[in-house]
Each structure stands twice: as C-alpha cells, then as structure tokens.
Chain A
Amino acid sequence: MLHAILAASDPTFWLPRGASTVSGDVDMLFNIVMWICIFFFVLVTVLLLLFVVMYRHRPGVKRSTAAEHSTLLELTWTLIPSIIVVFLYYYGFRQYMNMVIEPPNAYEITATGKMWQWSFTYPTGVETNELHVPVNVPVRVILQSNDVIHSLYIPAFRVKKDVVPGRFNRLWFQATDNGQYDIYCTDYCGTNHSTMRSTAVVESQADFDKWMKITIDTNNNLPPVQKGKKLYMTQGCAQCHTLDGTRLVGPSWKDMWGRTEQLESGPDIVVNAPYVTESILLPQAKIVKGYPPSMPPFQLKPADISALMEFMKSISSHTSAADMMPTTGPATQPAATEPALTGSTTQK
C-alpha cells in the first residue's frame, strides 16, 4: 500500500532523473521521508488552523479550561517520533553503507580537483576534463585535490564526496543509462567555484573503448601547437593566463613569447625557452614586475613543456617565422632549434 503511494509520487518532480544503481533506493528513501514530512506538516498545520478557528476569542463565551498536562499524551508524542526516527536512521544507514562499500574490481579513475576545474585520469594514463565511463560497469573514483577542498557531485548518480587535500576520499557508482550528466563542485573553493563544472559521459563499453583509443592516438601524434593548447586547457593554465590579452592573475599568453619584460629584481629578461621552462618548474625564481608570485610549480614532462612553448609561439606576434616549428609530426622530439639571439638574459 505504501509502495502504491510511493509509486504514485512522481520522483522527477523533486530529484532529477536517476541514472545509477543506487539512485532507485535513494529516491525511494527520499520519498518515504517526504511523505512522513508531509503527513506531520499537514497534521500540525490543520490542527493549528482548526484550533485558531474553533477556539478564537468570542466576547461572552466562557470556556472551562482544559487540562494542563497529560503524561499519556506526552509519552505518545515522544515515543511515536522516536520510533519513526529510529526507522529512518536504520534505513538511511543501511542504504548509506551500500553507497560506501564498493564492489570489487571496479574500473578506477582518479579525479583531480584544482582551482577551478576537474581533470580525470584513466588507468591508460589519459587525462581529460570531462568524465567518460562505460555503462553498467562499477566505477571507483579516487578523489584528490591540488589545492583546496572541492566536492565532486553528480546529481543523476546521487553521489557526492568532498575532495580533501591530504586525504584520499573516494566514491563509486555504476551508471545504468547512456547519456550526459552534470558534474558540479559543491564545496566553496574560491572565485570561480561556480564554473567548476563538467560533464559525465556514459556510453556503451564499445563506444568507451573507441573513445579511449582515439584519445590515446590523438595525444600521441598531436601537432605540438594543438597539444600545447590541449595542455593549456587540461593543466589549468587557463585559470590565470588568457589568450585574448586580458590580464588575470598571470600575464596573458597573447604576444607574450619573445617579449622583453622587467623582473621584480630589476634586470630585463626575454621570454624564451629557458625562462619559460624555469617559470614552469620553479615559478618563484624570476617574477615579472607587477605580477603576484602566486603560481604553483608544475612538474611537466619535457615534451609537454616544449609543446606548451610551441603553443605560446603560435599566438605571439613577437616570434619570427624562424621560431616556429613545423606544426606537423609528433612533438616528442625536443625543441632544439632555438636561435641564439633571443636567448640571452640581458643584465641592466
């Protein structure tokens, strides 16, 4: 009978359409709680209004006063709620354990939160900004943070867990429907907290494998400039460095390459391979005047660094054609063809 009511209550009016193995039970529990709440709210409100109407003051009407206490009543409305909450507690906890205890041999993805974007690393080493998972496969997500506390929330899967630096929280889910679902960060993490969103793409195992293969291939032989652009997106450079000349925390990369800047320490420096390399590995070493020393060090592979540099060159007007590398072919070979003239650090 209860089930009849619950079935009648349209789940999608409140919660969004569920798409994971746990969502069904969670929604059921949600509806149980909701109906309990509705019952008590109606009870209280109706009694309240009823009494206010029935017993409102009428001149001349003398009402013989009612009792001042009744232990029986008190016990009743102490015990009944107690029973209900114990019931709720039990089912809530049982279901919670189902959500916590993960099935064995789950597919493992590492989610990294950094201000302010997500990146997901797969066992194949591929790193993407949107989460791709095969349908009907249990997925374990290891949560790690580069900076502050974030929180990974996928409403459709009814999962949420804080991403705490220093702790390695984890969550798991098993998507049941193909489709695209929202991913939010739900723990306040600074300026662009509200744009720290992404998408979970659920697709059939075949499609997933195909996607994975394509991604790996493109990563391997992506032209350096494109690869640099990709790194610019995935590594979070975009949070501080724009491409349109707007100045954020750090300098915009537009026309940055080959420009001569003055350092906080006085001397001028040309933005070239050594300086960019050093600034990526040890950002605090040489700070350009007027910028905060707030960039964290990035331990990138040499190939990635050179790819990034190619990307910088591609959007800079200070770069002579000689600077440019052929934008075809794998970027794995080093950017060894640096002309000498731009390289020297001129002391004032």
Chain B
Amino acid sequence: MNYTISTIAPIFLLPFFAFVINCVLIKKVPKFVPWVSVAGIVGSFFFAAAIFIDFFTVYNTDYYIHKVFNWIDLSHGDNIFKIDLGIFIDNMTAVMLLMVTGVASLIHIFSTWYMKGDVRWERFFVYLSLFTSAMLGLVLSDNLLSIFMFWEIMGFCSYSLIGFYFEKEEAGNASIKAFMTTRVGDVFFLLGILAIWAVVGSVDIPSIYAAISNGAFEGKTVFGIALASFAGFCIFCGTIGKSAQFPLQVWLPDAMMGPTPCSALIHAATMVAAGVYLSLRMYPLMYVGELNTLIAYIGGITAFGAATIALIQKDLKAVLAYSTISQLGYMVLGIGVGAYNAAFMHLVTHAIFKACLFLSAGSVIHSYHDKYMPEMGGLKNKLPYTCIAMWCCTLAIAGVPVFSGFVSKDRILGDALYLFLQTGEGVYAIPTILGFVGAFLTPFYMFRMMFLTFHGKNRNKDKYDHCHKEHLTWNQNVPLLILSVFTLGFFFSGSLTGQGIISFAKEKKEWFKVLIEPPVQQRLEKFSNVTSQPFSFEDTRDMSVIPKSQYLKQSGFAGPGYDTSAEEEYYDEVHHAHVLGAVASVIIVALSVLLAFAMYIFGFISPSFFYDKLSFWVKALKNKYYMDWLYIDVLIKKGLLKLNNLLSWFDSGIYDRYAIDGWAFINRQVFKASHWFDRVIVDSVAVDGTAVGTEIFSLVTKSIQSGYIQKYIIVLIGAIVALSMFLGF
C-alpha cells in the first residue's frame, strides 16, 4: 500500500469535513446533518480498514510509518525553534484506528435512531463528527503537541455533549465538573510535554523513543527528582484526568447526564481510552522513570473502589459508568505491572463491549422511558435483541471464558500475579489482590444489573405495558448485534480462552500478542537513528529490507539477534503464573456468578442482609467514598473559599486600611507642597513654555496630517529614506 496524503488524511479529514459541512448545513437543511456525519465516519472506516489490512499483511513489529511536514520554523542560526507535525502509524495505531472508526460508525448509526426527534438532535451530530475527527487525529499524531491539541478539542466536545441538555441544571454542572476536573490533569500533561521538550528538543514520539534509547534522560533532575520520573508522572497525570483514575475519577459518573450514545462513544469507548493510549505510548518514559509501582497502585485502587461503588447503584447508566472506571483501572494496573500488550488488548476489547453495553442501555432507556433498575424487570420479552447483545457483553466484561474480557483481563491479572510471584515483594501483592477482588465484584454487579433489568418479574406495570416490543431495526439493534459478535475472545487471541487451545489461523492466531510489542529498551534501538520522512508524493521506503518477524511459540516475536532460549525460559514462568491466574479467576468468577444467582434469581440470600451487616460500608459507597464531598464541600467550599475570604479580609482590612490609606495621607501632604511648586514654577514657566513650543512645532507637523494622500506618500518616502540612512549609512 502506498502511504500518501490521499490515503491517510481522509481518515482524519472526512469526519472533519463532515463537521465543517454540518456547521453550514445545520441552519439551512438540518435533516441532512446526521447522514453527512454517518457518511464521513463510514468513509473514514474504510480508509482505516485499508491501513489495518496492510499492517496485518506485512505482519511485522518493526513496520511503522512516520511522515512529517513543517508547521512552524522560526529557526535563526543556531537557535532552533522548529515544530513538525506529522503522522506516526505503527501496529498499535492501526488497531486503534480500526477500533475507533468501527465503534464510532456503529454509534453514529445507532444515534440516528436514538436521537431522532430529540431537541437539537442535529447539533449532536455536529459535535460527534468533531469529536471523532479529533480522536482520529490524536491517534494518528506523531507528537505530543498535536496530541495535546486534539486532546483539548476532545475535552471541549465532551463538555458540549455532557451539557447537551443544558436546560437541566445538573447537566450544566456535570459538564463544568468534567471540564474542570480534566483540566487539572491537562495542566500536568502540558508541564510534562515541556519537560520532554527541554530534554529531547522535540516532542515527536520516535525522537522521544530515540532519546530514551540513547539515554538522554539519564542523570537529569528537576527539583531533586529524576527528570524522567517527573515528565512521566506529569504525563500520567493527564491519563489520570482523562481516563478517570483514582483521585480525579469524580467527573465520569456525572458525565452520564449526556445522551447515551455520547456516553458510549466518549465516556466509555474512545476518549477515556485516549488517556490509556497516551500512557501506552509513553510507556518507555514511565519505565525509565520507575513509576510502575505508583501506576499499579492507582490502577488497583481505581479498579477495586469503582467496582464496590457499582454494587449498590440503582441507575442503569451509573452501574456502567462505575464499571467503566473499574475497567480503566484494570488497564492502568496492566501498564503498572508491565502487561503492556494485555493492557492495550483490554483497551480494545473493553471499547467494543462497553460501547455495546452503553448502546444497549440506551436502547432500554429509550424504549422503557426510565433508567432506574428498581422500576424494571422482565424486559427480556419486550427487548429480545437488546437482551441478547447485552448478555454477550456482560459475559465478556465478567471474564467468562470464551469471551474477550476473559482473555484480556486475565492476562493483566496473570502478569500482576507473575510479577508478585517472581519478585516476592509485598509491595506488588496489594494491587494484585485488589485486582482479583475487583474481578470477583465485576461479575456480581453486572449480573445483578442484568437480572434486575431483564429477568424476574416486572415491577412497574404501566411502563412495562407502554414499552413497545422490539423489532429488528437496522439502526437500533443491528449495531448492537454487530458489536456483540466481536465480544468473542478468539478475534483477539486466536483461541477461545487465550491459553492456546484452538489454532485456526496457523501462525497468526496470536496476532495481537505478536504485533503489539512493548517498547522496552531493546525494542527502542530501532528508533535510535530515526529519520522522519516528509509528506512526499511517493512512499520511497524500501520495504524489502524490513524482515518478516519470526514467530516463536511462546513469546510471539523474536527479533534478529535475540536470545531465544532465555526468552523461552522466561515465558515458561510467565505461562505458569498465567495458568494459575486463569484458574483462580475462573473460580472467582464462578463464585461471583453463583452469588448473583443466589441473591437475585433464587432469592436464597436477600440483598438487605448485606445492607444490614455492612451498613457503614454501604453508607460510604452511597456517598461514593466521600470523594465529591471531599472535593466540593471540603476542598473548595471550606478550603478554597475560606482562603479566599481570608485573602479578601487581608486585602480590605489591613492592606487597604493601613497601607493604602496611610500612603494616601502622606501623599496629600506632599501634594500640598508640590501644588504650590506646580502652580508657581511649573505652570507658568515650563507648561506654558512647552505649549508655545508645541504650537510652533505643530505648525510644521500638522501640514503632514493634511488628509491629502499624496502628502502622505511623500512623508512615507521621506521616512523610508530617513530610516535607510539611519540603518545603512
């Protein structure tokens, strides 16, 4: 395939053009707006699929495209100030592009059903197109600066879409909350970019990799901290904000105020994944900065805490929101424990099944006109297709074998377990345990949600009768069914369980594992002499020099000159830990599912039993661990407002009264003295004298301001001549 501007740019530009066109159309012919958006993203999907197929055919970890064009060049002599923008496509990008465009296409199509007839529903598509183009731009970007720009555009779109129903006050507040909370992370992110720029001299990803490979970060410190740690932490703070990790997760549940398709697209499938994507891109930096433990802890805490909150939610979307936070916590945990590949795989699988879950929830809410689960029940007869799709995804997220969630989540947990077992350090025990406990809770709350929604008896007859029976509609449940097909595990692992039982595509069965390689020190050597290509017309690289990867049974990829025996040994250990983890998690899932059945289907154990026993815990959960209270009531109302009041009191009470008034008194006395001086000496001599001088001078100069253009020309020429005399003679 030939990578020119006409094959790459449409991926990003088609949705963007759809946005621009829609901005014009929305005033004149609003009924075309949704279809323009859909056409834009579907077209983009085909281009992305072409790129993915190309990368899949080449099947090589070393294969990447990096092309740049010059954006700003203010270099003068030795002072280099030059910014190149460009694209960087490697295997991860190719997978990501396919996932984003595919999920976004289906969500666009679903939105045409869900949003139809809503207030301002055309405007919704304008935002969606802009958002999609920004996401695709972020994925394609080759440098942190343009990533940051697209990141902020997405932040804006998120703000607009959460506050889409701005008549509701909560929606407005939620949008402001989301915007401000993510800003905290973004400030750190920008700081991290600047720190990297200070060291590397540019911010494009291959250069950063090259710098890490060449050891540019070694020995550099800022505020006594290693610079790599500082920069890595700052960038990880961006991830914390965007992906709703532990201290800053409070915005995501509130973000459910937006329309459900936008929740599916932005707050579950793509934008929150962008944070994890960024961390994966900057993984070497964090590795060099030794931030792994911190990241693992944050991920573990998030995964566990959000899962517990999800246990008691009554709102259908809130359960999904907390499960999103929890799953994102798993990804971050994966990054922390070095499960790079598994974290990215979980990103992809999670995007697909979570998008499907949200769309199904949207389908339920739109059909049932309610989103509180206590009001539901027995909907499987009314909404059969939605029920099927949602069950597939529930099984996937719960980690039931055969489904994709099992494959990806278990590999994260297995790697965590391996890290713990291998090092034997207690410091890794806590995230691992938190992860396994989360894995116990996840099936429980998901099954609880499904049972409350679709099974059992209905608890509100009016609404149940009002709900129409679902028919197979191309833009309602067909997208759901398409997405639910891809919750099966073997699309990603090549086998049903991820443990290598079925092999149906020969060497490519473990394609995900082979293609997505962690950019650890050894792999980065290929970037050490990186040269970026300009956007020329032809792709001039000699593709034949890139060797095809050799496939190893256990490890997947073995590059040239790689010690295979050590690797096999290493992977044997890994495999051992993985099998252990898989068995453990299957047992955990089974227990959890049994508990859910016992509580909500057979009624052996009443939920109120736990409510009574753990009342303190439940209270904490109902208040979301007091995080909102902490931020808004304590930190902002008690802390910041008090501080402001204090400062205000200081300003008006002390500074104004003593410093300023006292200064004024002194001044008054001085002025009395100077007034006399002014009247007698300055006025009569200097001012009047100047006035006379000015009058004489103005007689000369006002002839310039004559209003006659030709005199202006003469003066202009005179000025040029005078200036050139001054400069040149």
Partners in one complex: no
